[in-house]
Each structure stands twice: as structure tokens, then as C-alpha cells.
Structure 1
Amino acid sequence: MRGTKYKVLALLKQSKAIVSGEALAKELHVSRTAVWKAIRDLDKMGYQIDHLANGYRFISSNVLEAEEIAFSSLLSENILIEKSIDSTMNVAKLAAMNHQATPALFLTETQSGGRGRYGRPFFSPEGQIYMTLLLEPNQTFAELPQYTLLTAVAVALAIDEATGKSCSIKWVNDLFLDGKKVCGILSEAMSDFETGQISHVTIGIGLNFSIKPEAFPQELQTIATSLFPESSPTITRNELIQNIWRNFFELLDGLPDTAYLDYYRNKSFVIGKVVNFTQRGVNYTGKALRITDAGELVVQTTAGEMTLSSGEVSLSTIDGKQLK
């Protein structure tokens, strides 16, 4: 039966017109009852299918599909989708140890152990975007591209195109829309002890796709949002995911061109603001001056200019507004 429902789905996708149950049964050499059961199973899986008097018609759906995400730089056989896992980052790291072909993308509908920087847990309802890209750069740490910044730019470009709005970036790895967090990015490296090379890099993205404001936990309602909090999405998750990674690989292929850094700086809502941060257990307050070519944040404090790298600090407030 599993084979039949996917064959039915493929035929419906291929046709722009209404397809009768009889035509589907004839094409697949199965009974009308088998077609009806296949359609019912597809409905349960979340596919949008019009049930009409003269047949069925496929409507663009929000079900994650490798074939709909894949493109030349990211092959469908290297896109792995699960219903529920603990964390796409953990699954990607395990896959790296098992010699998974790269680049590879791991996605899930929901995760029980999702985490951000410093191991912070985060809200992970179904129907959003939780994914990790696995790369195999085999470079030294100094040779690595600035993956977090590249990814932030790739996501920002995709969000702006999808929503018609202009998102902003909180240095170094969070994206905001309408003043609230909509996406977080986490990049981590795995090293080869013998060679000293970075063998693998994992880039995790948690993006709120469509969540009504009241569906967030009370403590998040004033600081978090989604791309489509009130209206129906104008793009599918598959399309958005593909756009993100298309942007990413185009930027990566364009290196050493650093035009993406200017875009990142223009998107930053930190520059020129008063920020509070903690570094090595000491609290500081200062004005964010600029972002360097290395992606570091330069802050003017009473102790002088301080240059912050992404791994050292966590910004706590900007212009007095608490950040999470």
C-alpha cells in the first residue's frame, strides 16, 4: 500500500488538471478502493488534495519532501527527513562518524532535544523548520569560511523574499522579524585529532515558519514570532528550505568575495546600539561600533574598545531590551 499512495501522489503532482479515481486506478493497475485508501493515507500525512465530484487535484502542501528540496548542490539521496528525533545536530554528527556522503541535510518535523548556543533548549512545535547541514571541508580552523555569517545572510535573503518584509540580524546568529526572534543558527566544527584538520562542520537552523502568537509559551510571546503568524504561508517549507541552501551555496561558491559581509552589516540591528554582555564572568556595557571582516563585534566600553568573537560572549540586552 505504501507503494500505491506514492504512485498516486506522483500522478497527481504531474497533472495540473483534475484526475478521476478511475483514471488513477487504470494507470496504476489497481482497484478504485486502493486509490481511495491511498488518497485517505495522503490526507492523513498532511498532503493537500482537493476531493471533487469528478476526481482529485493536488494542492501545494507543507509536507517535507527531499525531492522538492533537492537541487544541484544538495542531492535528494543526501536529504534525510524524520518525523521526530532528539536533535538534527546530533543526528548529523552521528552520520559524520558513519561516513555519510556530503553535503547532507537532516530535517525533522519536531525535536525533543533541540538546542541553541551554550546548550540552551528551545520551543520546537511541529510544522516548523528544524534542519542541520553537514559539510566536509577538511580545512584548518583558520581556513574555514565564516559559516554562521554566510548562513545568516542566506536565511535573511530567503525570509525577505518569502515575506516581502525586511528582517534583521542580531550578532551573530539570530534573525529577527518585526522586532522578535524568528530564527536561530548554530555552527559547530568536528576536528580530526591526527591531522589537525576540521573534518566536518554542522550548521543547524531552527526557523519558526507558521505559529500563531498565542501558541507560543507565555514567556516567549513578547520576544518570538514566525514568518507567517497570522496569514496563510505564501511559500511551502520545501521551497523556503531550498531557497536558503541555494543562497548559501551560491555565497560559498562566490568566496573570497566578501560582499555578503556588507549585507550582513546592513542587516545588523546591533551596530550603534548600547549593548550589555558578559565576557569571562565580567559584565560590560558599551556601544557596538562595527563588525570586522572576521565577523567580530567591536564594542566601545569604559575599559576601551573590546573585540568580541562569537564563541566568547552572549549579548544580554540591546538599548535596554532583554534578549533571549
Structure 2
Amino acid sequence: MQKNKSDKIIHKEKGSFFIPGKENTVFSPPENEYFLNKNSLSGEWIRAGELDFHADIFAAYTCVSTMDALDLIVNSRIQSDIRKYVSFVSETQSGGRGQHKRTWISKKGNLYASVKIPFVFSGEWSENFLPLIMGNLVSGVLKEFGINTDIKWPNDIIYSGRKLGGILVEKKKNYYNVGIGLNLDNSPDDCELESFFSLPAVSLREKNINISNPFTFWNILFEHIFYFFNKRLAKEKPFALINDLTQKLLWLDEEVFVKDYSGKVSKMTLAGLSGDGGLILHNDSGKKVLYSAMIRAVSFQ
């Protein structure tokens, strides 16, 4: 393979970058060197290896955006198998983004990761479920650490009434690029909120909960993601997920402000989830199911 001066090497490394002492059982070193164009990415890059469930993890100390880095990898010579699950995780981001292109503040110590989901939604499973599925998986892994969370439809992880993290889904030609951010160590100040519908943030460290290694946490979460889409989803029906999510749904049966896709703001009662992942709301004018909206409890101060 010819090296171009504009390319940046992804150094061959063992998995010790992720889980010290387990590199021989969790990761295998890559057979070849790989290259990324430095005009699209920044920082020193590592192909951490292949997990024992046959999915690739790429890692970085810094990047512009894990979403952009993942797209570049998936659409390059580095990773050409469209059926394979791939993820990219970084210590920091200089240009991270959240829902509606909002800036995602990305200081060291938190989790910043993106994962390629090559799953094809069909039948009873609508792609509207994807952010909810991912939120439920994140919530499930956090529960393994003794952390109980709620889900603010459609894509926020809530802890103690504040935003702990979020999910961003971007649909591509042959896959979904799903970004996940979690405030493990620090969180933005309240003055940095960009919208009336944005909740104040919280980090686990602020609540005296210590998950010191975001890469270790991602390794666990990525395995849960892979297992769910490859083993569980084909055997489950949407109603099981809906029932599970309804128990975690923030502001269920409460009156909320709703800003729909047209920009109109109204007051409605949050009634639950529809069979295809939409949000059910009602008021004196009747019932409505929304698939794109921002919400905030009327009672929230």
C-alpha cells in the first residue's frame, strides 16, 4: 500500500489502550497498518483491534467528531464490510454535535462514541425505534453500575432530573451512524444551555459516582449493542420494548410544552409511546402522535 504525505497512520496497537491486562483476550492486534486523511481528521489514531464478537473499535485521544470519523472509516478502504459493526471512541472532540446540529461540549473524561448499525428495519420494527433502542441499551448498562435513569423522548438520558447524555442518529446509505455522549466526569454549565427545551446537565462524578475509564464503559456498551441487534431483536416484538421504555419515560402522564416540526408550541399531556415509536400526546382537542418534536414539562423549574 502506497503512503501519501497527506495520510496519517493509525498505529498498530494492542487493546491495552482500552482494558489493561486483557489485551490478549479482548482485542487482537490488526494485521496491517491503516491510513486516514488528516484533512478530515485530527489527532493520533489507533485501530484498537477486533473485539471477540467480531466488531471493530477505533480509538483516538482527540478528534473533530466521532460521527465524522466513523463515516470516514466506514466509507474508506479501512473497513469495507457493510454488514460489520464498527465503532469509534475518543477522549475529546473539538467539533462534537448533538441533536439539531447543536454544539456538544466535549471535555476529557466523558464518553464520546459513535457506532455503525448496519441493521435493516422492516416489518413491525420501524426505524423510529432506533434512538429509543439505543437509549434503552445505555440505560440498561448504567443500571448494571447501580445507576437508574429515565429517558426523555426521543434521545436523552436523564439522571436525577438532569441530562446525563444523549443519542444522535444519522441515516446513511447502508447503515445508521449513532452517536452516544455521556457525562461521566463533567458536564456543561447551566448558562451554556442552547434552548428552552434543553435540560440542565449533570455528570456522574457530581453525584459521587465514579466510572473512571470511558473506554472500558464503551467496551461493555458496544457488546450490548451488538448482542441486541444480532441476537435479541429478531426474537422480540416492539411491544416488549415499548413496555420497558414506558416505565422509564420522563414526564409520563404530565403536562408538557411541545414544539413540533413546524415550530408551533402547545401544551399537551404525555400519554406514552405508539406502536411504531412515536410519542402519544393529548389535550382537549384530541390525541396526537409525533415523531419529531421537543418537549419540556410545564412543572419543570
Check whether the contact 2:242–2:275 (CA below 8 A) recurs between aligned residues. yes
Aligned residues: 251
Show CA shifts across 1:6-41 (max 9, x none). Answer: 89999x837xxxxxxxxxxxxxxxxxxxxxxxxxxx
Deviation for aligned residue 1:108? 1.0
Match of 1:263 among 220, 229, 244: 244
The answer for the alignment partner of 1:274 in structure 2 is 255
Provide the C-alpha distance between the structure 2 equivalents of 1:298 and 1:65, rounded to a whole number of angstroms: 43
Show CA shifts across 1:43-102 (max 9, x none). Answer: xxxxxxxxxxxxxxxxxxxxx9946x934152xxx2111121111111122223225243
- 3-state SS of the aligned residue for 2:164? strand
Letter in 1 for 2:162: K
- 3-state SS of the aligned residue for 2:21? helix
Letter in 2 for 1:314: M
1:86 and 2:64 aligned: yes
Deviation for aligned residue 1:272? 0.5
Check whether the contact 1:130–1:204 (CA below 8 A) recurs between aligned residues. yes
Provide the C-alpha distance between the structure 1 equivalents of 2:48 and 2:242, rounded to a whole number of angstroms: 31
Show CA shifts across 1:207-248 (max 9, x none). Answer: 11112xxx7435259811112325362563233212222322
Provide the C-alpha distance between the structure 1 equivalents of 2:89 and 2:241, rounded to a whole number of angstroms: 26
Match of 2:189 among 202, 205, 217: 217
* Aligned residues with identical type, % of pairs: 22
Provide the C-alpha distance between the structure 1 equivalents of 2:149 and 2:181, rounded to a whole number of angstroms: 15
Letter in 2 for 1:189: K
Match of 1:313 among 287, 290, 293: 293
1:104 and 2:79 aligned: no
TM-score if structure 2 supplies the norm length? Answer: 0.73
More displaced 10-residue stretch of structure 1: 169-178 or 245-254: 245-254
Shift in CA distance, 208/283, structure 1 to aligned 2, threshold 3 Å: same
The answer for the alignment partner of 2:26 in structure 1 is none
Larger radius of gyration: 1
Write the mapping of 1:10-89 to structure 2, written as runs, cut at 5 A.
Answer: 13=21, 66=48, 70-74=51-55, 78-89=56-67
Provide the C-alpha distance between the structure 1 equivalents of 2:265 and 2:121, rounded to a whole number of angstroms: 35
The answer for the alignment partner of 1:294 in structure 2 is 276
Q: Whose helix fraction is larger, Structure 1's or Structure 2's?
A: 1
- Across the aligned residues of Structure 1 and Structure 2, the Cα RMSD in angstroms comes to 3.2
Letter in 1 for 2:175: H
Match of 1:202 among 174, 177, 202: 177
Provide the C-alpha distance between the structure 2 equivalents of 1:8 and 1:168, rounded to a whole number of angstroms: 33
Deviation for aligned residue 1:107? 1.0
Match of 2:163 among 170, 181, 198: 181
Provide the C-alpha distance between the structure 2 equivalents of 1:112 and 1:87, rounded to a whole number of angstroms: 7
Provide the C-alpha distance between the structure 2 equivalents of 1:153 and 1:276, rounded to a whole number of angstroms: 24
Structure 1 outlier segments of 4+, above 3 Å: 5-10, 64-67, 137-145
The answer for the alignment partner of 2:153 in structure 1 is 171
Provide the C-alpha distance between the structure 1 equivalents of 2:105 and 2:241, rounded to a whole number of angstroms: 30
Provide the C-alpha distance between the structure 1 equivalents of 2:209 and 2:299, rounded to a whole number of angstroms: 34
Letter in 2 for 1:157: G
Q: Which runs of 5+ in 1 are unaligned?
A: 15-63, 192-198
Shift in CA distance, 220/230, structure 1 to aligned 2, threshold 3 Å: farther
Deviation for aligned residue 1:190? 1.1
Q: Which runs of 5+ in 2 are unaligned?
A: 1-10, 23-45, 194-198
Check whether the contact 1:71–1:242 (CA below 8 A) recurs between aligned residues. no
TM-score if structure 1 supplies the norm length? Answer: 0.68
Check whether the contact 2:57–2:88 (CA below 8 A) recurs between aligned residues. yes
Shift in CA distance, 138/231, structure 1 to aligned 2, threshold 3 Å: closer
